[in-house]
Chains A and B, each alone.
Chain A
Amino acid sequence: MTTLDFFHDETFRDDFTYWNSPEAIRRFPFPFNEDKYMYSVNLEPHVAFKPGSVFEKSFDVDEHYVSEMRDRALVLQEDPLRCQSLPHMNMAGWDLLELIMTKKAAEYPQWFELHQDGDRWRWVNRPLDIDHTFTFLDNTTLPYGPMEYIMRQTQGDYAILDQRDNNLWMDAGMITTQADWSLDFDLGMNFMEWHGPVPLAHEMGIFDRALKFLLNVRQGQPARRLNWTMTVNPRLDTSPERYAKWGTDRMDVNADNVGQLMHLRVELQSFWRLPRSNALVFPIRCYLISLQDLATIPKWGRRFHRVIRDLPDELADYKGLTITRPYVIEYMSQFDDGAPTSPGIFADDE
């Protein structure tokens, strides 16, 4: 895993050459710890555990890294508003750059190096062939703002939340792999406002509890949770901006191709307090797996069938299953022999 051959050359659009290696399937963050699903706050400390899993490192770098960064650059070329930062968020951008560079250099020394000489920093990113010296906190020494600069080198969407008036405000972000929400529209909203369209969860008190937790996240004590949805094709850019372009994908799904086309899309969300700005940064890291690859893990095949079959209708709509659900249930049923499943999210033989 030290050579650059590790990284795939693949696409998340047009011909969709994205693929998961057997190792990537095995470490996939399967989000269901029992045979059913309902919203929950499900936050836990983001501490390193289970070597090789996506929970081992602070900011997971996997075989899709280089190609994901290429896809992000394509999105930004077409629509620069996917990356925005209100003026008061500049310091938070530097905080984030520092956090990611120090963690990656420490945890992936074969790929990343950070040399700090006072304010003069040299950053080496071998997978992306970057070797750049700049002055910390001086925007003029970077080709983009600090947030955009480091986000163009980091997998996953990032929202940076300003904390004031006992609330969190979506005041900056890099959002190119989102599941159906618009940074441009939600920029400047508070926590309750940007979650406004989510069904059921407000009434369940989910957001009140989550906000209370997040306001108290401390520096050096990050938290994490998993969330999920379904996507046709391994498409990263499922933005509302381009919905009229990808919406018809769902009509392509039929009983024969559902295993290849339908993908479980899992977000590994984590929450980090930033030191100077006191902002909260919220990485939303996306993992994609086709149903046929998912079913190669027997426990996951059984469980996923039961979860989707028993999902409340409102949630099925929200999770992108309105049209395709019957195909998914029928396809997954062949992997469900009715045997009991073990607790927890990991495959049994690990």
Chain B
Amino acid sequence: MLVEGIKSRPIYHPLEPKPGSRHILVADAEGAEAILELATKTPDGFWDKARILYIPRSAVGKGYEERLQALTPFPLYVGPTIAAAIPRLTKELSDAQMGTQIYLAGTEGLVGQAMIVALEAGVDQGSIQRDHRGSEARRVQCVHCKGITEEVTTQPVKCTHCGLMLLVRDHYSRRIGAFQGVCIDAEQPGTAPEPEEAFL
């Protein structure tokens, strides 16, 4: 379970089929499970209008690619990283028309970044569904140097860019798609506690 009570964090729900002219589904790692569960609820013809983008990441070798490909007649896109998949998603969105539905599932990093791309492409927020699956690792923006540290599982964490030890706050920006990291030992430099696993 994700930590509750973070006001700025998105609210996640299981994916539900919605009527649409096209369905764009984006998932990473265990996010594939959310799409497979969606498939048990979809009406006839749904997958003929669907495009699936999948980034296996930590779930590589678990066979999700084959099961996702079996859902749709269109070739499954399999990307090596989120960053590599973003231009592909941007293209899919630019080809999309009114009535396109977006389904995002997986890590918060994937969901957050895909959400930004969709909003920038002009997709209405009400046409985007989000479900969180798998790792609770956080994407963290250092408030000092603005660098993003990916896959953060510890508290505190060292900024991979400026090297400051950051407290990961329970404060999330949809626009940036990241949690906020603030120097933890600014008052007494060198007194940062040892990082401990916090977001698994």
Contacts and interface: CB of A to CB of B under 8 A. Distances in A.
Interface of A: 182, 184-189, 192-197, 202, 240-244, 246-248, 250-251, 323
Given A185-B180, A189-B174, 17 more contacts: A185-B141, A187-B175, A188-B175, A189-B175, A196-B171, A197-B171, A240-B144, A240-B180, A240-B182, A241-B143, A241-B144, A244-B183, A244-B186, A247-B186, A248-B186, A251-B187, A251-B188
Given A182-B143, A184-B146, A189-B8, A196 B170 contact: yes
Contacts of A186: 173
B62 interface: no
Contacts of A243: 143-144, 182-183, 186
A251 B169 CA distance: 23
A87 to B, nearest CB: 12
Contacts, number: 63
A151 to B, nearest CB: 21
Given A185-B141, A240-B143, A243-B143, A248 B173 contact: no
Contacts of A195: 7
A321 to B, nearest CB: 12
Contacts of B143: 182, 185, 240-241, 243
B166 to A, nearest CB: 10
Interface in B163-184: 164, 169-176, 180, 182-183
B174 A248 contact: no
Interface of B: 6-8, 141, 143-144, 146, 164, 169-176, 180, 182-183, 186-189
A193 B164 CA distance: 26
Nearest to B125: A165
A247 B7 contact: no
A202 B176 contact: no
B173 A202 contact: no
A192 B8 CA distance: 7
A185 B171 contact: yes
Nearest to B188: A251
A240 B173 CA distance: 15
Contacts of A251: 187-188
Nearest to B164: A244
Contacts of B183: 243-244, 247
16 contacts: A182-B180, A184-B146, A185-B173, A186-B173, A187-B173, A189-B8, A189-B174, A192-B7, A193-B8, A196-B6, A196-B7, A197-B171, A240-B182, A247-B183, A247-B187, A248-B186
A193 B169 CA distance: 13
B14 to A, nearest CB: 23
A171 to B, nearest CB: 10
B141 to A, nearest CB: 7
Contacts of B182: 240, 243
Given A189-B8, A193-B7, A244-B144, A323 B187 contact: yes
Contacts of B6: 196
B169 A197 contact: yes
A210 to B, nearest CB: 14
B106 to A, nearest CB: 22
Contact of A250 (B164, B169, B175, B187): B187
Nearest to A186: B173
B157 to A, nearest CB: 15
A87 B183 CA distance: 31
A197 B170 contact: yes
B51 to A, nearest CB: 28
A306 B91 CA distance: 62
A192 B164 CA distance: 29
Contacts of A242: 144
B170 to A, nearest CB: 7
B199 to A, nearest CB: 17
Most buried by A among B141, B146, B176, B187: B187
A184 B175 CA distance: 10
A250 B188 CA distance: 9
A165 to B, nearest CB: 10
A28 B172 CA distance: 36
A188 B172 CA distance: 11
A197 B164 CA distance: 21
Nearest to A202: B7
Nearest to A322: B187
A327 B88 CA distance: 58
A241 B181 CA distance: 10
A196 B187 contact: no
Contacts of B176: 185
A290 to B, nearest CB: 20
Contacts of A185: 141, 143, 171, 173, 176, 180
Contacts of B188: 248, 251
A185 B178 CA distance: 9
Contacts of A248: 186-189
A286 B180 CA distance: 25
